[in-house]
Every structure is written in C-alpha cells, then in structure tokens.
Chains A and B, each alone.
Chain A
Amino acid sequence: MTTRRTPGLGRDLLDEHTTSFADLLARVAPAALPAQRAPGSADLAPTATTIVSLATPHAVVMAGDRRATMGSTIAQRDIEKVFGADEYSLIGIAGSAGLAVEMVRLFRVELEHYEKLERVPLSLDGKANRLSALIRGNLALALQGFVVVPILAGWDLDRGLARIFSYDATGGRYEESHFFAVGSGSAYARGALKKLYRPDFSIPDAVTAAVQSLIDAADDDAATGGPDLARGIFPVVWAASAEGVERIPDAAVGRAVEAVVAARRGRPDGPGAPLL
C-alpha cells in the first residue's frame, strides 16, 4: 500500500515547469491522484446518474438528479453531481460517484492553479482539453468498470456564447449543440429535451425544461431519482453566464418542480408536442 506524502516546499517545487496541477500531483504526490486510489470491483462503489445541460442565448444551464445507487440499493438520495468548476464553467458527473467527485475536486484545483500561476484564466477550450486529459488518466480504472462520464458547460467569454462538451471514457471530447444529457437516464432525458427545447429559452424556461427531462428520466430509469416533494429534495441546477456561475436556489427549482408536477396530474407523461 502506498502512503500519501504531503510534500514540503522543497527544491522540487521550485524546479517544476508545469502549469498543470494534475501533472504536478502525478510527479510529487502520485498517490493522491484519484486514479491511483480505487482498486477492486466496480460493484463496491455507488453510481451517480443523470445530468442534463441546455444552452440558451444568455446562459447555459446544467441540472442533475440527486440519486446515487449501488446495485439496486439507493446509496444516497441527496447527492450533488453538478458543480461550479470555476467562475464561468460548470461540471456535472455521471458514473462511479466517489471517483467522479474526486475528479471534480481535482479539475477545480487544476483550473484555479493555472489561473493563479498565469494570472489569466484558461479559455473554455483549454478547460475542456484539460478535462479530457484528466479522464484519460482514469482510463485504467474505466476498464475495470469505474467509468466517470462528465459533462462540461460554460460561458465562452471570447465568443460570447454558451457551449457544452461531452466526453467518453477514453477522454474523447465532443462539442454538443443546444442540449445534451449523460448518465443512465440520459436517453430518456434527451428524448424529452428534443421535444421541449427552444433556442430562445430564458433561464427559468431552461430550468423548467431541465426539470421536465429529469422527471422523464426518473420515470423510466431506476437509477435516476425524481424530485422528492416530501423531503424537499430537488434537482441541483446551476447556470453560467457572462456574469459568472450561479446555483439556482432550491426555492426557485422547487417552484418549477411543483408547476411541472401539478401539470402532470392532468397528463402524467408531460406536455405533448405538436405532431407536425
């Protein structure tokens, strides 16, 4: 077993040339990397499920359900899977929960580390590429079943628009247009968004559409949790715009959830779309 060493401020830190925190960690404290920490079987670890993201003209919205499962057991009913990665980008994660949360932590430090060293933040494409590298570092574990599937969305300050990036387990990076979903319930969520999405959404519209799609995912996917009205557990929703990232308060998400649930009392499958 490897012990984790916390390095002092020695000559090794003066002699490094990298601006990447993950590369630094790999050299001076490799045991602290998430990918070095989880041998064994994927059945041991809880799995986190559906994340959706939608681009609007002035912001990008990302929402995730709150369930983590281990086999057929609900491991946690209020897990958070969507985070502000930095001032202008959001990251959501599906897959092996423990590793994924560690990877988000590493990614946030990675972005902040670069920004502090270089005194300018990375471009959105730069952030997307760094995330690719982190996922690629996890490939050996992905092959054992510990797959981490993130989704990155952010406001591109240079181009003034919302962008969404999806990833595969090998670190392949794909830019998505308009909306995307990842995780076990993503097929159902994406189906819902296909019918609901409009390019001119306001942020509250996008929040409502995200809630609709997550409820549809929870309807058909056992690993995705629907909103829990009794406990007041609602999807975690973040928005990123030119003014920065912001978590949509639970009260606002709760109102959207209640409106959606009320409408579904009349039509349990959600709003109908025109046939043509």
Chain B
Amino acid sequence: MTVPFYVAPEQLMKDRADYARSGIARGRSVIALRYLDGICLVAENRSAALFKVSEIYDRIGFAAVGRYNEFENLRIAGIRHADLRGFSYDRRDVTALGLANAYAQLLGTIFSAGGEKPYEVELVVAEVGETPAGDQLYRITYDGSIADETEVAVIGGSADRIATTVAAGSDPAQSLSAAVRLAVAALSTTSPLGVDALEVAVLDRTRLQSRKFRRLADGELGELLAGSAPTPRRRRSRAPERGSDATGSAVRAES
C-alpha cells in the first residue's frame, strides 16, 4: 500500500504563488498613472494586434500582464460582467470597485482551487471620475488580492523598481505629455522605447462621449513623446452612449 504524499498547505500555496509570480515577472510591464484630465495606461508592447490595454465600460479601462489567453479571457468576462450590470441597472451603476472585486473573487477562487493551475496574470482596473478626486486605480494580483493605488499602478516585469521611479516623478496635475514621457522613461531599460514598441490609451474625462476610453494613434503618441501638445481631436458626434475606440477607427481607415 502506498502512503499518500503529504504536502503542507503553506507549501502548496507557496509553490502555486511562485509559479504564478515567475510567469508574470517574465513579461514586460504596464503602467497606469493619473494625469490632469484622467488616467493614462502605458504598456511596452511590440505587437500591433495583441493588446494589453483595453476598454471595459464608459469610464473603466483594463490593463493586464502575464499569459495572454488568460488575461484575454478575463477581459472578455469583465466586459460581459459590466454590460450585464449596466443593462440590468443603469450605466452609472457599473464601477471599477465592483469590477475589481469581481476579478478578485474569480482569481482568488481559481488560485485556491486544487484542480487547476493558478492564472499567471496581474491586472489593473482604472476608472476615471468626473473630477480628479473620483479617479480610481486598482491592482489585482494572481491570488485575488486587491491593492487600491492612489497615483500609480505598475504590473509585470520589474514592477517594484518601475513603480518607485514613476511614483517619485509623478504628479496628478501633470499634463498627458508629461505622464506619458515619465512612464516611457521608466519602461525603457537600455534605449528609449519608440512609438512602435508602445501601446498607450487614455481614460479622458474631457471627452464629450460617455465612453471615455481612447487609444492613442502612433502619430499622436509621437507628438506626446516629443513633448509638443497635440491638438485635441474632438469629434462633432454627440451620440450619448457611444465613443470611438481608436482601434476601430484605424481598422476602418485601412479598409
């Protein structure tokens, strides 16, 4: 008769955490930081098709690092969750805190369930408020813990080192250009990252549409990195519920 091999629960959890952490640390970092008119999400991402930063709802953005299929699944589940909530109640009832809690529950359950491997992901859920005081940043880790960040949230890669650098130079009243340059400088290790290696989106409270998420096109990003203030692109559209995701516009422009 074989004696079942005993593993202490502490050891089991530590092994699972080490497994998830090493997967996350291999990736490149994503920074979410506040600026005067909202929150910008800056990722080092050399792919033009696989995104790390996305729109979830009117005022809520999502950034993730780690295993692509896992965070893509979480992104989709988050959009479903938010749209179901907004449809059942009201659009204003969809909040970043609610979504962050839902993600934490899901990741926590998966982390402690014995049957499956823990997700190797770390997420940021950001919400832009009507005023800067309403801005919210939540960082959610693979085991379902939530951190409520005040100004900057960094996930993936050498997150701690980058967070220290960015926090030291960040000011919530900074311009978008200053915020992007600060984030890009912190992400750059050897040579400064170019437009091709960056994915940047903003949750911009000054947008007229109710959808505040906007992906920055390469041209606009180049201008921001050069330090010149780009001309704000205001559409004349006054659709109450819709905005344009710049991704969609780019695809349409090519077709």
Contact = CB atoms under 8 A, between A and B. Distances in A.
A117 B51 contact: no
B84 A14 contact: no
Contacts of A228: none
> SS class of chain A's interface: helix, strand, loop or mixed?
mixed
Contact of A7 (B81, B236, B251): B81
B147 interface: no
A21 interface: yes
Contact of A108 (B56, B78, B241, B245): B241
Contacts of A6: 84-85, 88-89
Contact of B84 (A24, A87, A157, A158): A24
B84 A84 contact: no
Interface in B150-168: none
B207 to A, nearest CB: 13
Given A8-B102, A108-B241, A120-B248, A113 B83 contact: yes
Most buried by B among A108, A109, A119: A119
B87 to A, nearest CB: 5
A21 B83 CA distance: 8
> SS class of chain B's interface: helix, strand, loop or mixed?
helix
B172 interface: no
B55 A105 contact: no
Interface residues of B, number: 41
A119 B77 contact: no
B87 A245 contact: no
Interface string A104-143: 0110110011011101110000000000000000000000
B91 to A, nearest CB: 9
A119 B245 contact: yes
Contacts of A115: 245, 248
B23 interface: no
Nearest to B107: A9
B247 interface: yes
B241 to A, nearest CB: 6
Interface in A1-60: 4, 6-11, 13-14, 16, 21, 24-25, 28-29, 32
B63 to A, nearest CB: 15
Given A119-B247, A246-B237, A246-B238, A13 B51 contact: no
A198 interface: no
B11 interface: no
Given A25-B87, A117-B79, A10 B247 contact: no
Most buried by A among B102, B237, B245: B237
B140 to A, nearest CB: 12
A86 B243 CA distance: 8
B252 interface: yes
A13 B235 contact: no
A140 to B, nearest CB: 21
A9 B81 contact: yes
A112 B79 CA distance: 10
Most buried by B among A25, A29, A87, A247: A87
B60 to A, nearest CB: 11
Given A9-B105, A157-B252, A84 B79 contact: no
In order of increasing CB-CB distance, the 6 nearest A-B pairs are: A244-B237, A9-B102, A84-B239, A13-B77, A9-B81, A13-B80
Given A116-B83, A244-B244, 6 more contacts: A6-B89, A8-B102, A25-B87, A32-B88, A119-B248, A120-B252
9 contacts: A6-B84, A9-B106, A13-B81, A32-B84, A32-B87, A87-B239, A112-B241, A115-B245, A246-B238
